[in-house]
Chains A and B, each alone.
Chain A
Amino acid sequence: DGGITQSPKYLFRKEGQNVTLSCEQNLNHDAMYWYRQDPGQGLRLIYYSQIVNDFQKGDIAEGYSVSREKKESFPLTVTSAQKNPTAFYLCASSIYSPQHNEQFFGPGTRLTVL
């Protein structure tokens, strides 16, 4: 089955710790995206990547880092510099660009900082 997976579903971390969220897709999509969702605010773009070994900052990249070493993988690291990391994180992928193709979303990871 083709799709996009995120792990883990729930994640807890202590303040001051870095944590990495996994995102994998087997849809052969070029582009991948990370969003953060907070109650009542919709989705905000953190980072996106249109091709392997290249990525761009979105609107709220501070305190986050990403890598795109493989086409199918786009992990997101939430660093200790992120002041309010508790949120629901969604990963998405699309064929090439969002102008012509819908994004497919993973099930999300809920991160809670204790």
Chain B
Amino acid sequence: SQELEQSPQSLIVQEGKNLTINCTSSKTLYGLYWYKQKYGEGLIFLMMLQKGGEEKSHEKITAKLDEKKQQSSLHITASQPSHAGIYLCGAAFNNDMRFGAGTRLTVKP
């Protein structure tokens, strides 16, 4: 998607390490969604951010939306093998949802 740029494309970390995935838009985001996908499966909703400066956490995953509402980050603390998968950010533009290309995370035990 040209509307949403994700970085990095892939990430390999050692178990226990922290990591950050970024999602950037050239337009103001009125709703930013983070999903996780295991290979060959559907997307699992993680979190939604709407307000500038908003931050949400679930277990060891924290997502933030910057004040300008054009960039979001997903931070995983003390990564575990269960965190492995593809992380996608999504946002609504007009009446449909657009997604970033995804970040493939590998966690080495």
Contact = CB atoms under 8 A, between A and B. Distances in A.
Interface in A4-51: 6, 33, 35, 40-45, 48, 50
A43 B40 CA distance: 13
Contact of B45 (A44, A104, A107, A108): A104
Interface residues of B, number: 25
B96 A33 contact: yes
Contacts, number: 66
A42 B42 contact: no
Interface of B: 1, 6, 9, 30-31, 33, 35, 40-45, 48, 88, 90, 92, 95-102
Given A42-B101, A103-B97, A108-B42, 12 more contacts: A40-B102, A50-B95, A56-B95, A97-B92, A98-B31, A98-B96, A98-B97, A102-B48, A103-B43, A104-B45, A105-B44, A108-B41
